[in-house]
Amino acid sequence: MSELFGEVIFSYSRKQAIEDGVLIDVTDVAKRVGFKLHTVITTGVKELLARQPEYGTDDEDSGLLLSLVGCAFACVKHGITFRGDLDDVDRKYFEFRGQLVYIHCGPGDNAEPVLTIMLDGED
């Protein structure tokens, strides 16, 4: 690749983003609803959850987080989408608490498939 694009100037791995708190690992919750891939949410999604009055103090056990990830799973499994005009091969959009959210499947640090749940406009 370096012949094609040149020397890498800067890189920021998914692992680093998780360690820095930019992405929040919710894989354990995702497995509870049926996902088999490593799953994270963005800080934007975490802030959306935190604005909800019933959001618990323990993120991992929050019923709201479980509900969000469950919505994402339903969209992926059943092909449901809130905004079909925005859907792409690697993402599904859905509405959660009045906010447009999407789940994206892309390559992880080692090119393995991983999932990221994001707010519309986040990349």
User: What mean pLDDT comes out for the span 35-49?
Assistant: 91
* pTM to 2 decimal places: 0.82
Q: In this structure, which amino acid lies at residue 95?
A: E
Phi, psi of 100 (to 5 degrees): -75, 125
| Sequence-separated (6 or more) residues with CB below 8 Å from residue 106 | 90, 113, 114, 116
Average pLDDT score, the chain? 83
> Residue 73: which pLDDT band, with cuts at 50, 70 and 90?
confident
User: What mean pLDDT comes out for the span 106-121?
Assistant: 92
User: What mean pLDDT comes out for the span 28-57?
Assistant: 85
| Sequence-separated (6 or more) residues with CB below 8 Å from residue 59 | 24, 46, 49, 65
Res 82: pLDDT: 59
